[in-house]
Amino acid sequence: MSERFRYITLATSLPHLGSLFSQAKVPLSEFRLKQRVKMLSPEHQRLLNRVIEVTAWSGVARFANDQDVIRLAKAVIDDLKDNPTLQDLVRARMETRTAIAALRRRHDGQEDAGTISEWGFGRWCRQIETHWTDPGFGLSHFMPWISEANRLIQAGEHIAMERLVLGEVFSQLDHYGAGHEFDFEAIVIYVLRWVIVERWSRYSTDAARERLETLVGDILTPPTAADTARETPRPEEVLS
């Protein structure tokens, strides 16, 4: 079977995920998804895991500092030289992460951006540095969600903040998925959507909401090296 036909077969076998917050349960189990993505070529399976590593919390949480995450992102972008759509997707995710990190740093009392090159990524670093005291860092035109994110962080609305961010990331995936239906990019974007839908579905009950409060509270405080070693799964365990 040719690669093109395999990928068409794979793409058409994946059930529609629906909108992010409409699913009580994910329409495809992790086990079945793992089995299906084995139809990808070995190189594409490797690249898929690289993208997951840099975009999923379970991937970046294993790093001791932000500079290591930035180095990883740059390496993954270089690795995706034949896939410009995925390069742009990783850049956008890192820029979103930088904006959220800036909001949290400011909320925690940081008076300025400091050496933003040590923790920030992408084209908006100088803007954030220059407009540190502006609620949306002067980025509201480019990131319409950022002012609401600032309000939610200030109010301590962790679940609402999580919902807002996941919704924004889901919208990014919709944007970069346009024009890709039966190719490698389409499969990667489907898997990243699945990761987000699965994550949110785990927080649909009251008990899960309490768990989310704890999780998001932990995320606001960077993990120690010991915490990371003890609790964080390896990226390849997410979807390998």
The pLDDT value recorded for residue 228 is 46
Write the pLDDT tens digit of every residue in 120-148: 999 999 999 999 999 999 999 999 999 99
Residue 64: closest CA among 232, 236, 222: 222
Helices (H) and strands (E) in the chain, counts: 13, 0
- 61-68 contacts: CB < 8 A, separation 24 or more? 61/223, 61/228, 61/232, 62/228, 62/232, 62/234, 62/235, 63/228, 64/225, 64/228, 66/101, 66/118, 66/119, 66/120, 67/118, 67/119
Q: What pTM was estimated for this model as a whole?
A: 0.84
Alpha carbon separation from 129 to 71, 117, 134, 141, 175 (Å, rounded):
20, 10, 10, 17, 27
Q: How many CA atoms lie within 13 A of 156 on its CB side?
A: 3
Which residues have C-beta within 8 Å of that of residue 107, sequence separation ≥ 6?
153, 154
Write the pLDDT tens digit of every residue in 135-189: 999 999 999 999 999 999 999 998 899 899 999 999 999 999 999 999 999 999 9
**pLDDT at position 43 over 50:** yes
**pLDDT at position 215 over 80:** no
> Which range has highest mean pLDDT (56-70, 98-112, 153-167, 192-206)?
98-112
Say what percent of the chain tops pLDDT 70.
83
